[in-house]
């Protein structure tokens, strides 16, 4: 079944890999990114070349997740060209690294914007169409930190990803009766293979950061990074995340996994989420809302046969 | 041991109760709130009367958690009057209720500001003093939703509280070597006894909310509230949260519980957090940072005997 799919943050990292892998699997894929005519012009060209070289139904689309207007325009462009939108992959995100106290509140707000408000903007642009169809899939690229290991010096990022994961869980319940399914991808730390760590932001309050470095946390940043290096296996393969997204999309409606963990570090998220998701399901059943755990069959699922 | 304590969001709810309970336990307590000369003037008078009637070392202090300047001024006032600050209780918070899709990104940002950036502002105002002392306690009033049951229609609030809980966990590691201890209070849903539910905000996008009401989620808001009502016992006592904060503050340094659950609904957070906190501790030990699980003894603990 050929789906029309948008992947956010697809200029690099998991997003770029997922867009290509979904196109290779035969889907119509929009690799969304900001500044397609500016800083990401080269990435757009790469997407076009990759599509041409492999004969894929894949292209870039301008969509800045920081702007509601841009989200609306990008999603509308996809819908007007295809008459539908089947899958939204929330992947856009950014990381920062440093002592929590040295980040300004404005930096925390910015991280929440990039990692969480971004999904809200895309949802508000896309969900009316998915609800109208009575069929769709929302894929969230969360983080193992939301339930598993949380090494220090990543507080603003972990706070944002925990917020995103919570949003994903509640949205899944509120979309189920519309015939929209939810899958949450939970990647562990991949310190190589993407620019996620290399491009991490740093605290604006340098004086506060220096106090940590001059005190009991001297050399701590390196210690944490060495800690990561010691648990990320040398063969950790970032394409495993893209492959997991393809498997989720290609699974039958109503049978897709609520979560898929791709964590070479085995930081424990899979154990915790296993317990947490069961306990949350139990609460819904206790209050008579157990139907929200499975997407309702609303529309005919034969759109690809049109 | 008499501690100098600030409690945020102490004009009502858990905060007001905690400030009074801590003062009754013999501490010097600052019930912080915004607009002490405006909308909260009556609350200030109540605090003053309560202090006078019971002979307590308790007063209100102007501190708007939405403003860094106000946080700095309020915290400095406490420090200049007492020469120290021992305990920060992060309690300020606000809730909203409605379908996730009907909240604007700006509303999600505002919720994150009130529930999370608020703690960052107070931390940035207060922690330099606690670090200088080499001794202190940070108490976070989190939410059982961050690990336990998450009924629908509370997405922006649950996302913010999950972020706050993540921030608390990472801060605990980054403050441990400074001699600062962390305790996270985890209240379940208390639908009565505070204004938390009664004063919950609603979605700005009324048209979007109406689509849910006209569709498969007709009457859903009432259904969720009835669900809550069915699991919150009639004798659920909000003062249990304040009492838990007193017990945490009065426990010996280094022996305070990392988490205390006060959840009459038994929504499962205690089970999940039990697993999650152990798994997170295990990861820290794996990467050689197990010392961060216990606050370091830095300063003499005899300040109250000065």
Q: How many CB pairs under 8 A join A and B?
A: 253
Q: How far is B178 from chain A (nearest CA, A)?
A: 7
- Which of A70, A96, A170, A205 to mutate to test binding with chain B, by most B CBs within 10 Å of its CB? A170
Indicate if the pLDDT at residue B215 is higher than 70. Answer: yes
Across the interface, whether the CB atoms of B154 and A174 are under 8 A apart is answered: no
**pLDDT at position A301, please?**
53
Residue B145 with chain A: CB contacts under 8 Å: 166
Assign B306 a pLDDT band (cuts: 50, 70, 90): very low
Q: Which of B147, B173, B205 sits opposite A276 (nearest CB)?
A: B147
Across the interface, whether the CB atoms of B268 and A282 are under 8 A apart is answered: yes
**pLDDT at position A241, please?**
96
Average pLDDT for A147-153: 93
Residue A70 with chain B: CB contacts under 8 Å: none
DSSP B224-251: HHHHHHHHS-TT--THHHHHHHHHHHHS
Task: Give the pLDDT confidence of A230-243 residue by residue, as tens digits.
Answer: 898 888 888 999 99
Indicate if the pLDDT at residue A91 is higher than 90. Answer: yes
Indicate if the pLDDT at residue A302 is higher than 80. Answer: no
Residue A174 with chain B: CB contacts under 8 Å: 99-101, 152-153, 155, 212, 217
Residue B128 with chain A: CB contacts under 8 Å: 211
Q: Which of A227, A275, A279 sits opposite B289 (nearest CB)?
A: A227
Indicate if the pLDDT at residue A281 is higher than 80. Answer: yes
**Residue A66 DSSP symbol:** T
Structure tokens, A298:
């609303």
**pLDDT at position B300, please?**
63
- Which of B95, B174, B261, B271 to mutate to test binding with chain A, by most A CBs within 10 Å of its CB? B174
Assign B183 a pLDDT band (cuts: 50, 70, 90): very high
Instruction: Quote the CA–CA distance of A257 and A260 in Å, as a whole number.
Output: 7
**pLDDT at position B1, please?**
82
- B115 within 8 A of A103, measured Cβ to Cβ: no
Nearest CA in chain B to A281: B149
**Dihedral of alpha carbons B263, B268, B269, B273, sign:** positive
Q: Which residues of B are identified as catalytic?
A: 153
**pLDDT at position A84, please?**
98
**pLDDT at position A303, please?**
54
A171 is catalytic: no
Nearest CA in chain A to B110: A109
**Does B225 or A197 have the greater pLDDT score?**
B225
**Does ipTM exceed 0.90?**
yes
Across the interface, whether the CB atoms of A215 and B178 are under 8 A apart is answered: yes
Across the interface, whether the CB atoms of A166 and B155 are under 8 A apart is answered: yes
Which of A28, A17, A104 is CA-nearest to residue A304?
Answer: A28
Alpha carbons within 13 angstroms on the beta-carbon side of residue B295 total 27
- B159 within 8 A of A116, measured Cβ to Cβ: yes
Q: Which of A153, A157, A171, A212 is catalytic?
A: A153
Instruction: Quote the CA–CA distance of B97 and B123 in Å, as a whole number.
Output: 28
Is the pTM higher than 0.90? The answer reads yes
- Which of A104, A115, A120, A175 to mutate to test binding with chain B, by most B CBs within 10 Å of its CB? A120
């Amino acid at each position: 079944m050929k789906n029309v799919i948008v992947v956010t943050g697809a200029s690099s990292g998991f997003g770029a890999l997922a867009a290509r892998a979904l196109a290779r699997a035969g889907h119509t894929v929009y690799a969304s990114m900001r500044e397609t005519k500016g800083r990401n012009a080269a990435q757009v060209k790469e997407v076009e070349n990759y599509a041409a070289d492999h004969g894929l139904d894949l292209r870039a689309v301008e969509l800045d997740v920081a702007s509601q207007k841009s989200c609306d325009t990008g999603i509308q462009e996809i819908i007007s060209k295809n008459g539908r939108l089947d899958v939204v992959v929330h992947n856009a995100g950014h990381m920062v690294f440093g002592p929590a106290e040295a980040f300004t509140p404005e930096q925390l707000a910015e991280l929440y914007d990039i990692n969480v408000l971004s999904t809200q903007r895309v949802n508000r642009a896309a969900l009316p169409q998915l609800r109208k169809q009575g069929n769709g899939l929302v894929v969230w690229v969360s983080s193992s930190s939301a339930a598993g290991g949380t090494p220090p010096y990543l507080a603003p990022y972990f706070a944002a990803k925990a917020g995103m994961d919570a949003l994903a869980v509640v949205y899944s319940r509120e979309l189920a009766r519309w015939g929209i399914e939810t899958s949450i991808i939970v990647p562990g730390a991949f310190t190589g293979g993407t620019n996620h760590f290399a491009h991490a932001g740093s605290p604006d309050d340098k004086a506060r950061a220096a106090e940590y470095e001059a005190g009991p946390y001297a050399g701590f940043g390196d210690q944490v990074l060495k800690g990561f290096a010691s648990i990320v296996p040398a063969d950790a393969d970032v394409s495993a995340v893209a492959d997991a997204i393809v498997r989720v999309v290609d699974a039958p409606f109503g049978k897709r996994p609520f979560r898929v963990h791709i964590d070479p570090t085995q930081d424990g998220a899979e154990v915790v989420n296993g317990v947490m998701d069961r306990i949350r399901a139990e609460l819904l059943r206790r209050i008579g809302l157990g139907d929200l755990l499975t997407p309702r069959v609303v529309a005919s699922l034969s759109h690809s046969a049109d």
